Amino acid sequence: MIGFAALRGRPLLATGMAGLVLFAGAVALGWRAGEAPHLQAGQAPATQWVLPQLRTTDTEQDTAYLMTRRPWGGSTAFRDPEAMPPTVSWQLAGVVGRDGRWFALVAVGPQPTAALQYRTIGERLPDDTVLVQIDTDSVTSEGPQGVRRVHRLFEKRP
């Protein structure tokens, strides 16, 4: 205790010296603890990362799938009560997004044997109106006098 006689009566200096000794010991013991381990000779190298290939779409297969499943119900699910009946029997059967493009899936003819056709914006519909807008649950067509009509997939329920 001869060496510590100078620290007697100075508790702050004694605490600081003890902390310094403790810090130096931690640094000495942990100096090599953070190094990464060396690779063993038997480990495989990392493989090169490759993007997956895009799938091509088959619209005929999609149409056949929708015809068998009928995901939106029967013919009453597609009626717009505010609109006049069209001259050619057709109704909106779905809205499909493929490869960044939107298509309206149109059922033409009587319900059990209706033929499904894809239409995009600017194309003519079976009632001779032009498709001007496609939304997620409806499409908008424009007639010869500039009258627009909205065709909905689902009826509005009050």
CA distance 78 to 72: 8
pLDDT tens-digit readout, 66-101: 666 666 655 544 444 455 554 567 889 999 988 888
Structural domain boundaries in the chain: 76-152
The count of other CB atoms within 10 Å of the CB of residue 109 is 14
List, for residues 110-154, the tens digit of each pLDDT value. 877 888 899 999 999 988 899 999 998 899 999 888 889 898 888
pTM strictly above 0.75:
no
Encoded amino acid at 23, one letter: F
Helices (H) and strands (E) in the chain, counts: 2, 6
**CATH architecture for the domain at 76-152:** Roll (2.30)
- State the Cα angle at 12 between 11 and 17, rounded to 5°: 95
Q: What is the dihedral of CA 70, 114, 138, 151, to 10 degrees?
A: -140
